[in-house]
Amino acid sequence: MGEFKPPERYKMRVLLAEDEPDIRLITRLSLEDAGYDVTLVGDGQAAVAAAQHSAFDVVLLDVMMPLMDGFAACRQLKADAHTRSLPVIFLTAKSQEAEVHQGLALGAIGYIIKPFDVFELAHQIESLLARSDPRA
């Protein structure tokens, strides 16, 4: 008789755009530990390109990045019919009220402010996704 293998749990696919290597590493480890499949890029331009060529469930964008900042990347993602419905969450130290409003006005579903609790990050992402889901 063959060995029973339970079906694998779906792994949420996350695109993380972060230019700081240490933050990128700790965020990736935190999300992978929570069962996520994480793709890393180091700037907004690479984030837009990756989102246009691969399927993701959510994009986490830093605001201050080289080549293209997170606001410009979000603007491009929301302007493209292929990526328009892709949820974007800013993961950033930019916590001024005007910046938060700017990100939300561009179409982001939320903000997670650095420094963040690595043990709560996956829960925060899931909460933001649940609140933004029109089926919920």
Is residue 47 in some structural domain? yes
Q: What are the pLDDT tens digits along the chain (136 aa)?
A: 556 555 567 789 999 999 999 999 999 999 999 999 999 999 999 999 999 999 999 999 999 999 999 999 999 999 999 999 999 999 988 778 888 899 999 999 999 999 999 999 999 999 999 998 765 4
Question: Is 82 part of any domain?
Answer: yes
Q: Residue 65 belongs to a domain with what CATH number?
A: 3.40.50.2300
Nearest to 76 by CA among 107, 41, 48, 56: 48
- Domain for residue 59, yes or no? yes
User: Which helix H or strand E contains 32, and what residues bound it?
Assistant: helix 21-33
In a domain, 64, yes or no: yes
Note the pLDDT of residue 126: 94
Tell me if 25 is assigned to some domain.
no
Is residue 50 situated within a structural domain? yes
pLDDT computed for residue 135 by the predictor:
55
Alpha carbons 8 and 118: distance in angstroms, whole number: 24
In tens, the pLDDT along 107-120 reads 999 999 999 999 99
Give a yes or no: residue 108 inside a domain.
yes
Q: Determine the Cα–Cα distance for residues 53 and 49; give it in Å rounded to an integer.
A: 6
Q: CA 95 to CA 31: how far, in whole Å?
A: 22
Range of the domain at 58: 39-116
* Tally of structural domains, the chain: 1
Q: Angle CA(45)–CA(49)–CA(53) in degrees, nearest 5?
A: 170
CA end-to-end span of the chain:
42
